[in-house]
Amino acid sequence: MSGTPVLEIRNLTKAFSMPGGRDFYAVRDVSFSVPQGASLGLVGESGCGKSTIARMITKLTEATGGSILLDGDDITHIPEKEHKKRVFSKVQMVFQDPYGVFSPRMPVGTFLEEGLVFHGVMSRKEASAEAKRLLELVELPSSLLDRMPHQLSGGQQQRVVIARAISIKPRLLILDEATSALDVSVQEGVLKLLMRLQKELQLTYLFIGHDLAVVRSIADRIAVMYAGNLVEEMDSEDLTDTAVHPYTLRLLESVFSIGDKGKKHIELENFSLSDKEDNTGCPFAHRCREAGASCSKEQPGSRLLEKNHVVKCFHVHGAM
């Protein structure tokens, strides 16, 4: 897996301007890359900027700093007329909110066919047979082909959107909470399907999710974000054993497991964070049990620990 990565983002930043003229940084200075055939799992607090990164890669929103490279091609600021050729032909995205992707009056079958035809994968005639096969792949009956999107359950919508995204065999597939509306049994089927396709077609995945076990089961590397910042990145195998950032540890502690009934104690966390726009110090400092005086004054830089394990925290002393 050498050569130019399929996706590389460098110091990517997105600031939204807020009333009163101040800026809100949804994403700040994030860098990572994903080689061909690999998957990067992106996890982190709700609202930490994961979907914003995905939306910048798919040109739904413009980056305010840094750069995005697809197969080495810098697409950060390209004219709109080049989007189809340089972005949409390579990248597919499964959105967090599947319903928004459908046209409300377009039946499921047509929705699937449109994707194939638009991207020149096949003719409309061939596409109608393919649509049926695609539904089977995601464990849906072909009786759904004539349904309107609002006549599907949440998980059925999500699977139709996944089917459309994989039908185009994109270089890069971004999955934003793509399996969160599925029951665990169907989810297992969809995850296996994704793994099989990746292997067969050397697809590259950016997999955003909240279920750490699910993300870990599919990703080679895991990047953890907090409040717009990437705070830790490591091989996914190492997540449970070697994670060191206090926020990553907090995440791991919070996972429920089946045997937990009545045992797990959830402490109520109280913190106030009304004017978080000042950028001095570590973003996690106000909630961190380890935080010392320097944490709220200075931003921790990246440190490289062993085995491609990168962390931003003053309290971690690694190899360097």
Ligand X SMILES: Nc1ncnc2c1ncn2[C@@H]1O[C@H](COP(=O)(O)OP(=O)(O)OP(=O)(O)O)[C@@H](O)[C@H]1O
Region binding another protein by CB under 8 A among candidate stretches 3-11, 150-158, 165-173, 299-307 = 150-158
- Which residues within the stretch 83-112 sit at the binding site for ligand X (CB under 6 A)? 96
Region binding ligand X by CB under 6 A among candidate stretches 40-48, 68-76, 296-304, 305-313 = 40-48
Region binding another protein by CB under 8 A among candidate stretches 121-129, 179-187, 291-299, 306-314 = 179-187
Q: Where are the alpha helices (DSSP H) in the chain?
A: 50-57, 83, 108-118, 124-137, 154-167, 184-201, 212-218, 239-242, 246-254
- DSSP secondary structure, 220-234, as one string: SEEEEEETTEEEEEE
Contact between 1 and another protein by CB under 8 A: the answer reads: no
Q: Which listed residue (85, 124, 133, 196) binds another protein by CB under 8 A? A: 196
Contact between 72 and ligand X by CB under 6 A: the answer reads: no
187: helix, strand or coil: helix
Q: For residues 214 and 305, which CB has a smaller minimum distance to another protein in the complex?
A: 214
169: helix, strand or coil: coil
Q: Which residue is nearest to Mg ion (CB)?
A: 51
Q: For residues 154 and 318, which CB has a smaller minimum distance to Mg ion in the complex?
A: 154
How far apart CA 123 and CA 142 sit, in angstroms, is 20
Residue in the structure block whose two tokens are 């009956």: 141
Task: Using alpha carbons, list the distances in angstroms from residue 71 to 58, 60, 114, 172, 185.
Answer: 14, 19, 26, 10, 35
Q: Which does 114 bind (CB under 5 to 8 A by kind): another protein, Mg ion, ligand X, none?
A: none
Sign of CA dihedral 103, 48, 4, 218: negative
Q: Which listed residue (21, 258, 280, 301) binds another protein by CB under 8 A? A: 258
Contact between 42 and another protein by CB under 8 A: the answer reads: no
Which residues bind to Mg ion, rule: CB under 5 A? 51, 96, 153-154
Which residues bind to ligand X, rule: CB under 6 A? 16, 24, 26, 46-52, 96, 151-156, 181
